[in-house]
């Protein structure tokens, strides 16, 4: 993920705030009222997945699964698991070109044992160029064969369990000026490598939802525009895309309405929509907030807005709503700043006001 979006002052609240969102935001604010530093919600909370007619996902790492408290939260609240990094080439493709499946299988096995769906993230990503591919000889044929073999091996292995795959991840340049250039585009073509990946994945699993996925779509209109143009171009080229991912890594100062507009814009393709990696950074938010409580109330409102917009989509377009982690300390954002608290559960696994806001949005 690139630099955080430039904080902007919130516009005055526009019209069209749904009743669902208004209620959820009210809960969010109430939950953040008298508490100092967003104290956890007291008392039991309902299983989040029991409130949603669609999968509620989260990302996991194999090593977390041995922690009983973590595993209990996972199985209580979530219905779909995404490997945070252990199904990416950086782990799965070894220098000699062989594949390793141990940790992907551990995550898949945990999901299967607990009746959870598995989501495949991710097949082709600009950020991953393993030596085994970089060192392949110059012939396009051998590179293409290795590319196809990798996709077929992974999609085929989890056929019948994986609900879907991020086939192409983060194809748009951070500034929204065009498509990223990388090993895959250089060796197999800017658009061709994407169309190829979707066709090979479809051949390996006729039923999985095949998605494209990107971030900062809600905060960078140029990037959202390029993403929509690319999706159109790929569909016109015959790529069997059946889902669109919106990562939704956002900052607490994101203006109200941006998430709703983005989710609705992506839904206009009529394909499934995946809010694929939501978290709301408190620390990265701009300076116009006065206190941490205000930032936490804004965080809760944004979770509520995203869930309200997603839950308002036609049922056949609701792929999943995935939060990028379970407890705050496990968030990838904490690597950047230990004081960030971007998720729904605190370090002790207690639900935060953001959880209440999501619950209210689902109940409405």
Show which residues are catalytic. Answer: 170, 277
Q: Which is nearer to ligand XIL, 215 or 227 (CB)?
A: 215
Which string of DSSP letters, residue by residue, matches 2-47? -SPPPP-PPPPP-S---HHHHHHHHHHHHHHSS-SS-PPPPS----
Are the C-beta atoms of residues 143 and 187 closer than 8 Å to each other? yes
235 CB contacts (<8 Å, ≥6 apart)?
A: 241, 269
Which lies closer to ligand XIL via its Cβ, residue 170 or residue 364?
170
DSSP-derived secondary structure for 128-184: ---HHHHTS-S-HHHHHHHHHHHHHHHHHHTTTTEEEEEEEE--B-TTSSSB---HH
Nearer to ligand XIL, 79 or 216 (CB): 216
Q: Which helix (H) or strand (E) holds 214?
A: strand 209-214
| Residue 168 or 307 having the CB closest to ligand XIL | 168
Q: What is the dihedral of CA 263, 124, 80, 221, to 10 degrees?
A: -10
Contact positions toward ligand XIL, by CB under 6 A? 1, 84-85, 169, 215, 247, 277, 332
Separation between Cα atoms, residue 361 and residue 364, nearest integer Å: 6
CB of 176 to ligand XIL, least distance (A): 16
Q: How far is the CB of 293 from ligand XIL (least distance, A)?
A: 27
Contact 202/162 with Cβ under 8 angstroms? no
- Taking the complex as a whole, how short is the minimal distance between the CB of residue 227 and ligand XIL, in angstroms? 14
Return d(Cα 269, Cα 227) in angstroms, integer. 12
Q: How far is the CB of 69 from ligand XIL (least distance, A)?
A: 20
Structure tokens at 142: 């051998």
**DSSP SS3 for 60:** strand
Question: Whole-number minimum distance, CB 359 to ligand XIL, in Å?
Answer: 25
Please choose, from the candidates 263, 280, 273, the residue with its C-alpha nearest in 3D space to the C-alpha of residue 212: 273
Q: How far apart are CA 326 and CA 345, in angstroms?
A: 6
To ligand XIL, the closest distance from the beta carbon of 1 in angstroms equals: 4
The number of beta carbons lying within 10 Å of the beta carbon of residue 16 is: 9
Look up tokens 């930032």; give the residue: 295
Q: Report d(CA 350, CA 77) in Å as an integer.
A: 12
Report in angstroms how near the CB of residue 343 gets to ligand XIL at its nearest: 12
Task: Report, in Å, the least distance between residue 138 CB and ligand XIL.
Answer: 29
* Residue sitting closest to ligand XIL (CB): 332
- Alpha-carbon gap, residue 165 to 26, rounded angstroms: 35
Measured N-to-C along each axis, helices 19-32 and 292-311 cross at an angle, to the nearest 10 degrees, of 150
**CB nearer to ligand XIL: pick between 79 and 247:** 247
What would the two tokens of residue 2 be?
A: 């690139």
């Amino acid at each position: 993920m690139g630099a955080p979006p430039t904080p902007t002052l919130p516009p005055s609240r526009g019209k069209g705030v749904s009743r669902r969102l208004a209620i959820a935001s009210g809960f969010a604010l109430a939950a953040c009222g008298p508490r100092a530093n967003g104290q956890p919600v007291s008392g039991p909370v309902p299983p989040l997945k029991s409130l949603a007619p669609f999968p509620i996902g989260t990302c996991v790492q194999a090593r977390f699964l041995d922690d009983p408290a973590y595993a209990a939260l996972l199985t209580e609240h979530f219905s779909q698991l995404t490997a945070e990094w252990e199904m990416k080439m950086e782990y799965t493709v070894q220098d000699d070109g062989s594949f390793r499946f141990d940790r992907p299988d551990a995550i898949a096995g945990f999901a299967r044992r607990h009746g959870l769906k598995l989501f495949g993230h991710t097949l082709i990503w600009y950020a991953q160029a393993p030596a085994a591919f970089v060192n392949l000889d110059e012939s396009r044929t051998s590179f293409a064969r290795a590319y196809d073999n990798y996709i077929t091996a992974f999609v085929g292995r989890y056929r019948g369990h994986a609900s879907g795959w991020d086939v192409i991840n983060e194809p748009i340049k951070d500034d929204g000026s065009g498509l990223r250039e990388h090993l895959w585009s250089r060796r197999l073509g800017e658009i061709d490598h994407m169309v190829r990946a979707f066709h090979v994945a479809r051949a390996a699993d006729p039923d999985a939802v095949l998605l494209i996925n990107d971030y900062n779509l809600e905060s960078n209109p140029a990037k959202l525009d390029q993403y929509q143009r690319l999706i159109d171009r790929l569909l016109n080229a015959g790529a069997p895309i059946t889902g669109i991912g919106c990562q939704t890594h956002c900052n607490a100062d994101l203006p109200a309405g941006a998430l709703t507009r983005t989710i609705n814009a992506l839904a206009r393709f009529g394909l499934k929509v995946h809010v694929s990696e939501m978290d709301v950074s408190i620390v990265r938010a701009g300076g116009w907030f006065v206190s941490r409580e205000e930032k936490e109330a804004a965080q809760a409102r944004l979770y509520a807005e995203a869930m309200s917009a997603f839950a308002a989509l036609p049922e056949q377009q609701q792929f999943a709503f995935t939060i990028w982690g379970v407890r705050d300390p496990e968030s990838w954002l904490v690597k950047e700043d230990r004081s960030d608290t971007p998720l729904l559960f605190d370090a002790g696994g207690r639900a935060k006001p953001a959880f209440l806001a999501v619950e209210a949005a689902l109940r409405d």
